[in-house]
Structure 1
Amino acid sequence: MRFDVNEYKKLSEEDFEKAWMKGTEVLTPKNPNLLFPRYSYSIGEEHPLFKTINDLRRAYITLGFKEVVNPVIVEDSHVRRQFGKEALAVLDRCFYLASLPRPNIGISAEKVDEIEKIAQKKLSEEEIDAIRMIFHEFKKGRIDGDDLPYKLASAIEISDVKAVEIIDKVFPEFKALKPEPESLTLRSHMTTGWFITLSKIASRFPLPIKLFSIDRCFRKEQREDATRLYTYFSASCVVVDEDVGVEEGKAVAEGLLRQFGFKKFKFRLDEKRSKYYIPGTQTEVFAFHPKIVGSSTKYSDGWIEIATFGIYSPTALAQYDVEYPVMNLGLGVERLAMILYDYSDVRELVYPWLYGKIELSDMDIAKGIKLLEVPYTLDGLKIAQSIIECADKNKDIRGPAEVTAFEGEIYGKKIRVKIVEREENVRLCGPAYANEVVVYQGSILGVPRTDKWLHVFEHGFTTGIRYIDSFAHYCARKIEEGVAKDVKEMEIRTRVVESLSDINLGLQENIRKYITSKEGKIDIRGPMFVAVRYEMLS
């Protein structure tokens, strides 16, 4: 719900309170960006890796490919069938899965005594038999580990907390368990999944069959570094047809990468020669990108390897009863994202909060600046707006002077609010009263909208909050409180502004630390000199 204070009469007090409790965004006529909800809502931000994944999905679909999900957990026998004598080298890079065995749990008299001490009750023979049955069912796999405390607690009528304590203290067998390896592996190449998928559909779908999958692969690297991670995303596709060949691979590569702005391509036979490709078909795809021209990498000429394709070997396909030729193309999503978003370290791309430098935009910083005190009521908002309009209209009047900003009722009591200046020949509002809070190059500044500071407004991000705006809302809040306490008169004054809190503004501490770490500054100093006085008339 959004509303403008100019339309306050359209809302009842009850409607306003409901909106306020929900964190309504209240807009003032002069400051459309001025927020004072409990929480502000804004558009989120995509991770560059997943944005690249979404873009690749659209690109494949545009080329007529159908999306599928390939198996992630596969038996190591599939790797042996696909890679033959090279399987050991591939399996050396695979993560094998392991699981905890189910132990045999005996219930001796000593253990019964320990259980009774923790449960603080005497167990019947039926309850002891129930415990034995629970552990027997657990051993057989009929009860899962996360259900074990609940089953135990239910059987002997104790709390889940005591059941967990019994398992922990009475049965050391659980602590001694060690994972036992299985023959299951995490997919290290998307090809492993493609052979399994194709074995089920290659003889059932009409030709040509065009499929793609973008998903995680896992590889046991010696270590994670600037170019390698233990898990990465592969954007892979296959084309199944009676006469598919290398030319189809080139066409798919160009059609896919042109959608990302690449226009020039080179193709070169890959020296690695994977066993599952027909010899002479495994091809590296190089694309030209102007961003990397002259860089310190081996791609300083602007040409970067970005994908690989090949024709699956009939021998490998025969292991899965696939009788048609299959072209497979794959690329690493992280590599593409690094090019598109100008990263040199894959860790900084994928885990910026762990390895990269956290960078906040001026807009991010501005969103962290909030009003500290705001009116509770709609009448309070009207008072704040009246103070702002009065200050703008009468700022140059010289003292001594009193200018009425508001006269009306609040909480059933009639009040008058004035802006006052008691000194001779001094303007009603000080020079900095209309300074605006702007974030510029990572610093928070309070500056007027003059030619001198025009570049700050053009290239920075303004909060839309002027000193008089935030101060007026503080005054309105204090007036509300004063009237509620039956205070007959009150004067609220601000002089030289030195910090955000002097003008009723706060900053998230995390953002303050960020500004300091980046050697930015918070400089909102300025002579404001505004005094607001209210008096109760009845």
Structure 2
Amino acid sequence: MKKKDIVKLSRRDFERAWLESGKLLKKPHHDLQYPRLRFGVGKSHVLYDTIWMIREAYLRLGFSEMVNPVFIDEEHIYRQFGPEAPAVLDRCFYLGGLPRPDIGLGLDKIRMIEEMGVEVTEDRIQGLKEVFRSYKKGDISGDDLVLEVSGALEVESHDALRIIERVFPEIRDLKPVAGRTTLRSHMTSGWFISLQNIHDRYPLPLKLFSIDRCFRREQREDSSHLMTYHSASCVVVDDEVPLDVGKAVAEGLLEHFGFSRFKFLPDEKKSKYYIPGTQTEVYAYHPGLRDWVEIATFGLYSPIALSMYGIDEEVMNLGVGVERVAMILNQVDDVREMVYPQIHGPWRLTDRDIAGMLRINLHPVTSDGRMLMERIIETWRAHADAESPCSFEVYSGEFLGRRIRVEAVEDEENTRLLGPAVWNTIYIHDGNILGVPPGTELDNELIASARRDGLNTGITYMDALAAEAAYRVEEMAVSGADEVEVRSTIARSLSDLNLILDDVAMRYITSRNREIDLRGPLFSTVRGMLE
């Protein structure tokens, strides 16, 4: 069954389609099996690069790392924000779950199970009832329900899934119900919970930091707002903490990223968990950007909010938006493009990327074949301009256990051994793949710019054609054929030059209206024969 047929079947019978999909697995090529399969060095994401740098900066400043709670009961928002809590909760995500239903097993459902070809006995019915009772109580997880039903009715799992789908719609039609637990919308909500448990267990001062995700129910995501972001937050806890501690920490942290000057301005938001007049915005000047940018916020936690958690000490909190720092350092205007380039970013392949996807297709695989390829190139270079008809010996002797003779020939009169395009070299320039001749007399504007600014792949037409010729001679020797002739006339496409381009690069080039221009006369012929 083909993949498209399985997808179509899944709309009628998911379990059967899922089982059929296992038959699509193929034994991989020998080189793609472990331990021969290898992976090189990967590419990191700019966001996590920034997280790592901030983390390193905090550690250098003497802060210890902590993981704060992600799941926050709405009660904590009321403790921290007081009357402002309902407005804050409006931007929080509430967690919901599917309620466990009461599942009845009347005569009508038993009859439906029988009509599906299942023999129903008293023991099986009792077993099924017990499964549903355990499921309701939470003793059986949803992941295991199909398996447990399968065991109770003594049927295959795909039959159990069909029974659940068709006989018990109360499971299929479940709707999620929200509870009182929210996803952390700002790191402060987690800090209060953590400090409640440790503030009196360690000697002061406490210097802690946490870099983790927060979730905010924005009305919409745009170039500067995401519904999930990373907060790089820290606290300093002591019997007395002056506001200037926030200034010192901000300066020490941001100097790590090359920011050189700082301004501290009152924040008009005035969050209720800060002492009035202490909430401060941090602006930093980056010499590379030549501009002042808002980069962080700090303040002293309100004694009212701290008292809700039994904390008598003073606490300075500073928060840095990781995405904000990454955007500034990398001069990105759209946070969606930076965080999710695979979704929101433009598709970009560099010339080097494209060059890495262009390769010679047929290439000799033996040491004898590679030696022959070099002999072909040497002969062509020495006699390329010889007038035809002509013939030049490339090699005569032992080759893969046989005696062979190989010649470079041109049988037609009044021409030369090789056409002029064999000297061309392939360049990649601005997404174009171009055959660039050694002289400049045939240059157009694109070729001239490629010669000046493009990426030289190091692949010449002569290299690619010689590789195919040597490969075909290898085939002749292995198969026992008497002779082989490899002739190339006019280059119009990649395949004419024994080249292959990855489909990804081809899609990129065509979607960007770039060119693959490799045209040119080749007129090369190599003959191989057994002696």
Which of residues 87, 91, 94 in structure 2 aligns to 1:93? Answer: 91
Q: Do the aligned partners of 2:234 and 2:318 also contact (CA within 8 Å) in 1?
A: yes
Match of 2:379?
A: 390
SS of the aligned residue for 1:469 comes to helix
Within 5 Å, which residues of 2 pair with 1:350-499? 350-423=339-412, 426-448=415-437, 456=450, 459-499=453-493
Query: What is the CA–CA distance in structure 1 between the aligned matches of 2:470 and 2:32, rounded to whole Å?
Result: 19
Q: Is 1:22–2:31 an aligned residue pair?
A: yes
Distance verdict in 2 for CA 1:206–1:457, change over 3 Å: farther
Distance verdict in 2 for CA 1:23–1:471, change over 3 Å: farther
Distance verdict in 2 for CA 1:436–1:61, change over 3 Å: farther
Distance verdict in 2 for CA 1:111–1:460, change over 3 Å: same
Amino acid at match of 1:439: I
In the comparison of the two structures, how many residue pairs are matched? 496
Distance verdict in 2 for CA 1:121–1:23, change over 3 Å: closer
User: Unpaired runs of 5+ in structure 2?
Assistant: 1-28
SS of the aligned residue for 1:512 comes to helix
Distance verdict in 2 for CA 1:457–1:71, change over 3 Å: farther
Q: Is 1:139–2:156 an aligned residue pair?
A: no
Query: What is the CA–CA distance in structure 1 between the aligned matches of 2:295 and 2:208, rounded to whole Å?
Result: 20
Q: Is 1:150–2:147 an aligned residue pair?
A: yes
Q: CA deviation at 1:175?
A: 2.4
Match of 1:514?
A: 508
Q: CA deviation at 1:352?
A: 2.0
Q: Do the aligned partners of 2:409 and 2:525 also contact (CA within 8 Å) in 1?
A: yes
SS of the aligned residue for 1:354 comes to helix
Q: CA deviation at 1:523?
A: 1.4
Q: Do the aligned partners of 2:98 and 2:177 also contact (CA within 8 Å) in 1?
A: yes
Amino acid at match of 2:80: Q
Q: Is 1:503–2:497 an aligned residue pair?
A: yes
SS of the aligned residue for 2:81 comes to helix
Match of 1:113?
A: 111
Query: What is the CA–CA distance in structure 2 between the aligned matches of 1:287 and 1:273, rounded to whole Å?
Result: 21
Query: What is the CA–CA distance in structure 2 between the aligned matches of 1:461 and 1:413, rounded to whole Å?
Result: 41
SS of the aligned residue for 1:353 comes to helix
Query: What is the CA–CA distance in structure 2 between the aligned matches of 1:325 and 1:401, rounded to whole Å?
Result: 95
Which of residues 307, 311, 321 in structure 2 aligns to 1:322? Answer: 311
Match of 1:349?
A: 338
Query: What is the CA–CA distance in structure 1 between the aligned matches of 2:369 and 2:193, rounded to whole Å?
Result: 69
Which of residues 52, 56, 59 in structure 2 aligns to 1:58? Answer: 56
Distance verdict in 2 for CA 1:406–1:69, change over 3 Å: farther
Query: What is the CA–CA distance in structure 2 between the aligned matches of 1:347 and 1:235, rounded to whole Å?
Result: 19
Query: What is the CA–CA distance in structure 1 between the aligned matches of 2:428 and 2:39, rounded to whole Å?
Result: 19
Query: What is the CA–CA distance in structure 1 between the aligned matches of 2:254 and 2:501, rounded to whole Å?
Result: 44
SS of the aligned residue for 1:433 comes to helix
Query: What is the CA–CA distance in structure 1 between the aligned matches of 2:361 and 2:159, rounded to whole Å?
Result: 47
User: Unpaired runs of 5+ in structure 1?
Assistant: 1-19, 25-37, 294-301
Match of 1:243?
A: 240
Query: What is the CA–CA distance in structure 1 between the aligned matches of 2:73 and 2:32, rounded to whole Å?
Result: 53
Q: CA deviation at 1:281?
A: 1.2
Q: CA deviation at 1:96?
A: 0.3
TM-score by length of 2: 0.87
Match of 2:17?
A: none
Q: CA deviation at 1:185?
A: 0.3
Amino acid at match of 1:222: Q
Query: What is the CA–CA distance in structure 2 between the aligned matches of 1:183 and 1:190, rounded to whole Å?
Result: 18
TM-score by length of 1: 0.86
Identity fraction in percent: 49
SS of the aligned residue for 2:236 comes to strand
Q: CA deviation at 1:156?
A: 2.3
Match of 1:225?
A: 222
- After superposition, the C-alpha distances for 1:356-391 in whole angstroms (9 at most, x for unaligned) are 211111111111213322334443333333323333
- After superposition, the C-alpha distances for 1:150-179 in whole angstroms (9 at most, x for unaligned) are 111122221111111010000011123211
Which of residues 259, 274, 289 in structure 2 aligns to 1:262? Answer: 259
Query: What is the CA–CA distance in structure 2 between the aligned matches of 1:23 and 1:139, rounded to whole Å?
Result: 47
Query: What is the CA–CA distance in structure 2 between the aligned matches of 1:533 and 1:280, rounded to whole Å?
Result: 89
SS of the aligned residue for 1:491 comes to strand
Distance verdict in 2 for CA 1:437–1:44, change over 3 Å: farther
| Structure with bigger RCO (C-alpha 8 Å, 6+ apart) | 1
Distance verdict in 2 for CA 1:208–1:420, change over 3 Å: farther
- After superposition, the C-alpha distances for 1:440-479 in whole angstroms (9 at most, x for unaligned) are 1221112245678786466433332221222222222222
- After superposition, the C-alpha distances for 1:211-244 in whole angstroms (9 at most, x for unaligned) are 2111111111111112111111111111222332
Q: Do the aligned partners of 2:436 and 2:451 also contact (CA within 8 Å) in 1?
A: no
Amino acid at match of 1:462: N
Q: CA deviation at 1:147?
A: 0.4
Query: What is the CA–CA distance in structure 1 between the aligned matches of 2:492 and 2:268, rounded to whole Å?
Result: 67
Query: What is the CA–CA distance in structure 1 between the aligned matches of 2:458 and 2:39, rounded to whole Å?
Result: 17
SS of the aligned residue for 1:174 comes to helix
Query: What is the CA–CA distance in structure 1 between the aligned matches of 2:199 and 2:374, rounded to whole Å?
Result: 71
Q: CA deviation at 1:291?
A: 6.2
Distance verdict in 2 for CA 1:78–1:495, change over 3 Å: same
SS of the aligned residue for 2:341 comes to coil
Match of 2:82?
A: 84
Distance verdict in 2 for CA 1:89–1:60, change over 3 Å: same
Query: What is the CA–CA distance in structure 2 between the aligned matches of 1:441 and 1:264, rounded to whole Å?
Result: 39
Q: CA deviation at 1:115?
A: 1.6
Q: Is 1:335–2:324 an aligned residue pair?
A: yes
Amino acid at match of 1:87: A
Which of residues 282, 302, 312 in structure 1 aligns to 2:301? Answer: 312
Amino acid at match of 2:81: F
Within 5 Å, which residues of 2 pair with 1:269-308? 269-289=266-286, 302-308=291-297
Segment drifting more, 182-191 vs 65-74: 65-74
Amino acid at match of 1:114: M
